[in-house]
A and B are shown apart, each in its own frame.
Chain A
Amino acid sequence: MTFVSKTKLNTFDFMKNIKATFLSVSIALSLLFLTVSCSEKTKKEVTPAVSQTIEVTYAKGFTVENKDTYTLITVTKPWPNADRTFTYALIPKGTPTPTGEFDAVVQTPVENLVVTSTTHIPSLEALAVENTLVGFPDTQYVSSPKTRARIDNGLVKELGINESINTETVIDLDPDVVIGFSINNQNKTYATLQKTGIPVVYNGDWAEETPLGKAEWIKFFAPFFNKEKEADSIFSHIVTEYNNAKQLAAASNTKPTVVSGAMYRDVWYLPGGRSWMAQFLADANTQYLWSDNNDTGSLSLNFETVYDKAINADFWLAPGQFTAYSQLLDESASYKNFKAFKNKNIYTFSNTKGATGGLLYYELAPSRPDLVLKDLIYFTHPNVLTNYTPQFFKPLE
């Protein structure tokens, strides 16, 4: 943009730029599941006499309390650096609304709902309530098999693009609740829905910083369907599996070095040292070369820096959208000098797609950290998990 066009003449381009920035942000989000650093919100002090708290161990973004007549969900971190918490009252159908200020009141069990992120869908399927889903934005890339079948049978309404949901269709569907997510407090679509009386509940799973934390958001979904027990047992199983895999990896006597991400033009985007991905790499007993970094989000580093540091890395995991060695070479000939490239030790999740081409990893990985960890261990410590088939990661073609 020239200075003239930007400030005076071409506001259109300026808007385009904002959009591009926004797009790149959301792309980076989905790419690396980046979680921007944020101030830790302390959980609400709870008095055990009046309510019983459902145990939420790893997730930092929500709490669930059983009050006398209703369940209170408090979302403390709907997005990074949120300046307020959101409280939602879940009341059994037919009971009166409790006194108090709530951001939404939802009658349970929910019989039909709208969710907005593909990461929400595996939780619905795990709780066996996928038939309550009546609408979803951008159904094209949904991969979870049961929901896919329902979409193909026309049982799930297409609601348009995520950033601007087709409000009219949602109002027409009249769902019991809309599980939304937002990157800030400025979502106008949700405000419109709330005005028409449809409860909107923010899900902050994407802002969670730890693998098990993200997965624990299944406990956020459970009270809507009175499935707290099921959620608890599903999550405990995941925790057990995760920790077992972690221990097996820790016993291995090697600790290979790892580089991640890839270059776009000459900027290398890679996960920060405190990011979701970096924690997987640590738990898989590997030496992520940027583990001393304190960023929870993604790093954008100069090519030279990464080249100098990672040229001898043993493994290269999750190289962006690249699915083949030839693609890497097309993008930059410098890639071929990397040790991981020479030894064909590059593994990607971009080769594992659902029926309609959506990447399975983006949809399922947040709720199945045990599988992600096992995938990583399978490739970086070849002798540890012998009887295992990787779910997301595959060697580059």
Chain B
Amino acid sequence: MPKSFSYKTIFVGLALIIVLGMVVNISLGSVHIPFQEVLKILTGQEASKHTWAHIIIQYRLPKAITAILTGFGLSVSGLLMQTLFRNPLAGPFVLGISSGAGLGVALLVMGGSLLGVGIFNSSFSLAIAASLGSFIVLLAILLVARNIRDTMAILIIGLMFGSLTAAVVNILSYFASMEKLQQYVFWNLGSLGNLSWPQVALFVSIIFIGLLCTLFSVKGLNALLLGEQYAISMGVSVKKLRYIIMIATSLLAGSITAFVGPIAFIGLAVPHITRMLLKSSNHFILIPATMLIGGIVMLFCDTVAQLPGSQLTLPINAITSIIGAPMVIWLLLRKRKILL
């Protein structure tokens, strides 16, 4: 493509911003740690206070990585959904895929006590339960939506599935014990912190597999931009493509929902922001750009949520919406056209 040079510049720029954003994110927090100390700790030198080293290495660094992974995964899964359903309003949250993950977690956390079975609540089983939950909801949506051409109907079906899962969760929470309910409620608030390094490693590998699946769908996704029939006529096996996208989305959205909790806005909005900034619909460009911008937005939201200097932390879920929603509205007002 003739524009590839300028895209290269954009990617280098985005990569620099994400590195910069990560350094800023790690340097700021409730506890004031001088920048030189942060650098010392990051480069493996002895810090003047050993709690500082722990805060940086065991808390802020995994949190920053989690933020980036969350941004990567949610925005890419949003992009996949929008192209697959050819619907600019699609996203893991709108389609009930996040609720499906929530149901998986709810069943594991609260259902266990209901059935009188103690299930080991490791982070691994949470991730599997959440991914399975989102996979099942996505499968159900695809099955129901198979014969429906109307994109609004698909959205409504997604919302209905979201409501259904929410209803099941409500019933579960009605019968769950206080401690279990509490565990679920806190999970539902969402948070990027408190992932241990082994959990981060697991998170990284699941996101990596999800993104790898995405890579294999790039070609088909571009064909899908013209519609399903064109895609088939160009030799794309749409069925296979659907399964790859489904697996990728459930891995990405599911694991994120498991490790971080339900995070709004990112999945819906970042793909739009990316399209408007890059003025491209080519997934070869869009996917990496969406990933990077998603990572940057999450880092920024987390930095704000930490309220540097104060002792408090705001829920990340609220921040993503507060920062993100006006951004999308502003972009839409300028462009007046929603594209895929």
Contacts and interface: CB of A to CB of B under 8 A. Distances in A.
Interface in A323-376: 330-334, 337, 357
A149 interface: no
Interface in A1-44: 1-6, 9-10, 12-13, 16, 19-20, 23-24, 27, 30-31
B41 interface: no
Nearest to A11: B163
A247 to B, nearest CB: 34
A105 B54 CA distance: 61
B321 A3 contact: yes
Contacts of A333: 58, 196-197
Size class of the contact patch on chain B: 35 or more
Interface in B311-327: 311-313, 317, 321, 324-325
Interface stretch (B14-22, B89-97, B277-285): B89-97
Contact of A332 (B155, B170, B194): B194
B170 A16 contact: yes
A267 interface: yes
Given A19-B170, A332-B196, A9 B94 contact: yes
Given A2-B264, A308-B51, A332-B196, A302 B306 contact: yes
| B177, B194, B196, B265: most-surrounded residue (chain A CB, <10 A) | B194
Nearest to A269: B186
Contacts, number: 137
Interface in A227-268: 263-267
B340 interface: no
B139 interface: no
Contacts of B54: 307, 334, 337
Contacts of A5: 93-94, 159, 162, 264
Contacts of A337: 54
B29 to A, nearest CB: 5
Interface string B242-261: 00000000000000000001
A300 B155 CA distance: 37
Given A23-B173, A304-B29, A304-B31, A10 B185 contact: no
A334 B312 contact: no
A305 B306 CA distance: 11
B30 interface: yes
A13 B188 CA distance: 12
Interface string B300-340: 00000011001111000100010011001000000000000
Nearest to B180: A321
A2 B263 CA distance: 8
| B174, B185, B317, B321: most-surrounded residue (chain A CB, <10 A) | B185
A10 to B, nearest CB: 6
Interface in B87-130: 89, 91, 93-94, 99, 121-122
Q: Nearest 4 A-B pairs (CB), nearest first?
A: A266-B193, A265-B191, A3-B325, A264-B186
Interface of B: 29-31, 51, 54-55, 58-60, 63, 89, 91, 93-94, 99, 121-122, 155, 159, 162-163, 166, 169-170, 173-174, 177-179, 181-182, 185-194, 196-197, 261-262, 264-265, 267-269, 306-307, 310-313, 317, 321, 324-325, 328
9 contacts: A1-B262, A4-B89, A9-B159, A16-B170, A27-B181, A265-B187, A265-B194, A267-B191, A333-B58
